[in-house]
Amino acid sequence: MTTPPRTYLTHLDWALTADADDRCLRDATLVVEGDRIVAIGASDDVLAAHPPGEGDTVRDGRRLGVTPGFVDTHVHLSETLSRAVFPDNLATRAWVFHWAKPFYAHVGEADEATSVLLGTTEMLRHGTTCFLDMGAQNDPGVTARAAGQTGIRGITGRHAADNKPAELPAGWSPEMVDHHFFPDHETALEVLEQCVRDWNGYADGRIRCWVNIEGKEPCTLELHVGARALAERLGVGTTYHIASNIEESQISERRYGRWPVTRICEHDGLGSNLVLAHAVAVDDHEVGLLAQHDTSVAFCPSTSLKLAKGAACIGKYPEMLDAGVTVGLGTDGVSAAGNMNLMRQLYLVAGLFKDARLDADLVGARKALRMATIEGARALGWDDEIGSLEPGKKADFVLFDLDHFEWIPFHDPLQALVWSVSSASIAETWVDGRRLYFDGRVATVDEPALHVEARERAAAIVERAGLTRADVPVTTALYE
């Protein structure tokens, strides 16, 4: 039986594998067959064991370095058209209730398809090969189809809540409220189950669908707990926002006598198929609960800085890592964080807690890279196939141009990757054995046309949502 043609990337300057031993290979060769990695290791060893044959493609990888593709564990792809619309003097709750929801209320299906195309294209340019999307504002099929078109790997769902406020803020359209807020948790879960059945495994398995909900005050305890239980029954995961700032946790304590994570845990709501977005305002006891129940966390450093969530002040992420909690990195949405560049998150998480606690040994480059790769894949339940460079895993990886000025000179590739360089030096991004970003373009998308459409749609949404008015609130008392 003949084997399919292989691609050989020979004599790579280095390969950061993010495997169990965090190997850094020098003069490495990577062999791809179909959508899988056949071999990676020292060039002499790999070429001797797997000699190229007729029909194989052999490329000289000198002056290139390779990492696993980056895994974004929390993103809002429906938000990509809101870049630089919201002011930067908003705390989390005002940001959500008076700016984000009015914006979302005016994002139609065609808008969301453009938003997803734009967001996933940006991700590929930044080396992100897999994402966990919080949930579509419309049908999750919009996100699945658009992401499927770009060729990226990812998880999406349908946005859902069941506890609308007594008085609706300005900008919340009746259509948005009817679509997002279900009359009760049972109805919400029925619709979410159908979404999973319709879209999980789309695009030859590259796109998965989870039982995702909004979380926090707009969701009842029953929906938080029920979403995880339903996801477990369906064999998928769930994610939602929780403990995203101190105000949210304090409101929970006043109302229920418990911080959010403790309250959910007491009702059997934590588990290994749950990814908590942000989880900034947790205490030491709750860190232990997360570890005990193998619950993952998606940390979004840029959002914490922009929305004053308090990660550097009260965040327990170093303690989570020490306790064995799986912590991935997320970019969040472009209006929350300002960008969809996971390499910025690498830089921030590596140094944020060093500075905040005057401890140079906290987090650092090695853990930061793992958070952006294998730990993110583990949070998504996908570490059996992605997140590290190992034989048998999917061929999702990033090639860096070492002739780019950011790399000249360098000694330790890991230190340079985290502290010295940016995504500007990314030469290629591969997903599922396909070269999607190369020669300065994403091959699966007409980017110039997409940019024209995105600008037009973004301007129209902002106008419809009324976010150019001077009286849009910058504080809120909603749900208090």
pLDDT of 291 reads 98
Q: What does each of the 480 residues of the chain score in pLDDT, given as a tens digit?
A: 567 899 999 999 999 999 999 999 999 999 999 999 999 999 999 999 999 999 999 999 999 999 999 999 999 999 999 999 999 999 888 989 999 999 999 999 999 999 999 999 999 999 999 999 999 999 999 999 999 999 999 999 999 999 999 888 888 999 999 999 999 999 999 999 999 999 999 999 999 999 999 999 999 999 999 999 999 999 999 999 999 999 999 999 999 999 999 999 999 999 999 999 999 999 999 999 999 999 999 999 999 999 999 999 999 999 999 999 999 999 999 999 999 999 999 999 999 999 999 999 999 999 999 999 999 999 999 999 999 999 999 999 999 999 999 999 999 999 999 999 999 999 999 999 999 999 999 999 999 999 999 999 999 999 999 998 888 888 888 887
Angle at 28 between CA 373 and CA 151, to 5 degrees: 45
DSSP state of 69: P
Asked if 316 and 282 touch (Cβ cutoff 8 Å), the reply is: yes
DSSP state of 115: H
pLDDT of 178 reads 93
Domain positions in the chain: 6-68+388-442, 70-379
The dihedral sign for the CA sequence 371, 378, 145, 214: negative
pLDDT of 150 reads 98
pLDDT of 477 reads 82
Query: In angstroms, how far is CA 139 from the centroid of its own chain?
Result: 20
The H or E element spanning position 263 is helix 260-266
DSSP state of 360: T
- 117-176, pLDDT tens digit by residue? 999 999 999 999 999 999 999 999 999 999 999 999 999 999 999 999 988 888 899 999
Cα distances (angstroms) measured from residue 230 to each of 70, 154, 194, 216, 273? 28, 20, 11, 18, 10
- Note whether 6-68+388-442 and 70-379 share their fold: no
Alpha-carbon gap, residue 105 to 168, rounded angstroms: 12
pLDDT of 2 reads 67
pLDDT of 1 reads 55
- 25-67, pLDDT tens digit by residue? 999 999 999 999 999 999 999 999 999 999 999 999 999 999 9
Q: Which CATH number fits the domain 70-379, given the four candidates 3.30.200.20, 3.30.70.890, 3.20.20.140, 3.50.50.60?
A: 3.20.20.140
Domain 6-68+388-442 -> CATH class = mainly beta
- 21-31, pLDDT tens digit by residue? 999 999 999 99
pLDDT of 473 reads 86
For the beta carbon of residue 131, count every other beta carbon within 10 angstroms. 28
Asked if 239 and 275 touch (Cβ cutoff 8 Å), the reply is: yes
Alpha-carbon gap, residue 311 to 11, rounded angstroms: 41
Strand-pair partners of 161:
181
pLDDT of 54 reads 93
Alpha-carbon gap, residue 289 to 236, rounded angstroms: 21
Relative to beta strand 397-401, strand 426-431 is antiparallel
**DSSP letter for each residue of 70-112:** EEEEEE-GGGGGGTTTS-SS--HHHIIIIIIHHHHTT--HHHH
